């Protein structure tokens, strides 16, 4: 059974870190309803939902993808690039301890945010961003090379994380809103999408993807490729540079 690690949003969500966007009003009650609908997408498809303990004092704690990255049976606990987010780590570590996964950890002076990690087959693209440094990338490379993964560092300056700008379809095609992508030529196959909030997709199954409901033209383009497209509203998280990928960690059996 596939498992989904999530954490419900903090009432202080509106105080989350911002890098490239200006601060706008965030509705915490609407965010909770949107989060519940997001989780239901997975629950109704048979995913086991694992809730990480609430961390109401951590405004960005809902963005659990940044805290841990899973490669098969290995969970790599990240070290947040933002000081304000390092308090999220202990509860994530506790949740991972119950999954049966092998655990490794990025340590000082390395920083790594999971939102900077894009896995396509045995290739792992890692964003060299304001949140992920060279030491963090080197530590991840040392962990993954013995497992047959190639780690490729890519520059990220236009968005917060690599996966704020690009993600991948089930066939490995990298998709992104081109004005937000530093260098599309770094990817063997790249397809531009027409909307900013269409950059992020979560692969639910080999022929099924999830994306924001704020990208209807992108949804139509993916459907034209033959994919089944599921959409869900995440407007309150998008106001904080979030997207459909960063609200969960997927553990696939």
Closest Cα partner for 14 from 64, 59, 63, 65?
59
Residue 246: active-site member: yes
Residue 78: active-site member: no
How far, in Å, are 7, 88, 193 from residue 52 at the CA level?
A: 5, 10, 33
Annotation-wise, does 56 bind a ligand? no
Per-residue DSSP letter, 188:
S
Residue bearing tokens 């999830």: 210
Which two tokens mark 130? 């304001």
CATH, residue 11: 3.75.10.10
Annotation-wise, does 183 bind a ligand? no
- Residue 253: the pLDDT is 72
CA torsion sign, 106 to 70 to 148 to 151? negative
Which two tokens mark 190? 């790249």
The total number of structural domains that make up the chain: 1
Under-70 pLDDT residues of the chain: none
Annotation-wise, does 86 bind a ligand? no
**Catalytic, out of 78, 149, 222, 246:** 246
Provide the domain limits for residue 108.
Answer: 3-251
Annotation-wise, does 186 bind a ligand? no
Q: In this structure, are residues 193 and 175 in contact, taking their beta carbons and an 8 Å threshold?
A: yes
How far apart CA 111 and CA 130 sit, in angstroms, is: 10
Torsion angle (degrees, nearest 10) of CA 240, 243, 246, 250? 160
**Catalytic, out of 78, 149, 161, 197:** 161
Annotation-wise, does 227 bind a ligand? no
Annotation-wise, does 131 bind a ligand? yes
Tell me how long the chain is: 253
- Residue 57: the pLDDT is 96
Per DSSP, the three-state class of 39 is helix
Q: In this structure, are residues 209 and 201 in contact, taking their beta carbons and an 8 Å threshold?
A: yes
How far apart CA 220 and CA 177 sit, in angstroms, is: 15
Enumerate residues 6+ apart whose C-beta is below 8 A from 235.
30, 34, 214
């Amino acid at each position: 059974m596939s498992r989904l690690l999530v954490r419900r949003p903090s009432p202080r969500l509106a105080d989350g870190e911002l890098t490239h966007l200006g601060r706008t009003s965030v509705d915490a009650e609407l965010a909770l309803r949107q989060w519940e609908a997001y989780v239901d997408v997975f629950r109704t498809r048979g995913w086991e939902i694992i809730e990480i303990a609430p961390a109401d004092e951590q405004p960005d704690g809902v963005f659990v993808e940044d805290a841990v990255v899973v490669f098969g049976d290995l969970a790599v606990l990240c070290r947040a690039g933002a000081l304000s987010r390092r308090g999220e780590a202990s509860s994530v570590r506790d949740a991972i301890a119950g999954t049966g996964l092998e655990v490794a950890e990025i340590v000082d002076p390395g920083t790594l945010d999971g939102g900077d990690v894009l896995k396509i087959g045995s290739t792992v693209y890692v964003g060299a961003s304001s949140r992920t440094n060279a030491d963090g990338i080197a530590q991840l490379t040392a962990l993954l090379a013995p497992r047959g993964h190639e780690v490729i560092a890519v520059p990220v300056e236009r968005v917060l994380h690599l996966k704020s700008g690009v993600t991948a379809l089930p066939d490995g095609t990298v998709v992104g809103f081109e004005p937000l992508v530093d260098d599309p030529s770094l990817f063997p196959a790249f397809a531009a999408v027409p909307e900013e909030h269409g950059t992020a997709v979560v692969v639910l199954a080999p022929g099924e993807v999830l994306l924001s409901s704020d990208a209807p033209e992108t949804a139509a383009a993916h459907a034209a490729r033959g994919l089944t497209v599921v959409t869900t509203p995440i407007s309150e998280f998008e106001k904080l540079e979030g997207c459909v990928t960063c609200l969960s960690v997927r553990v696939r059996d």
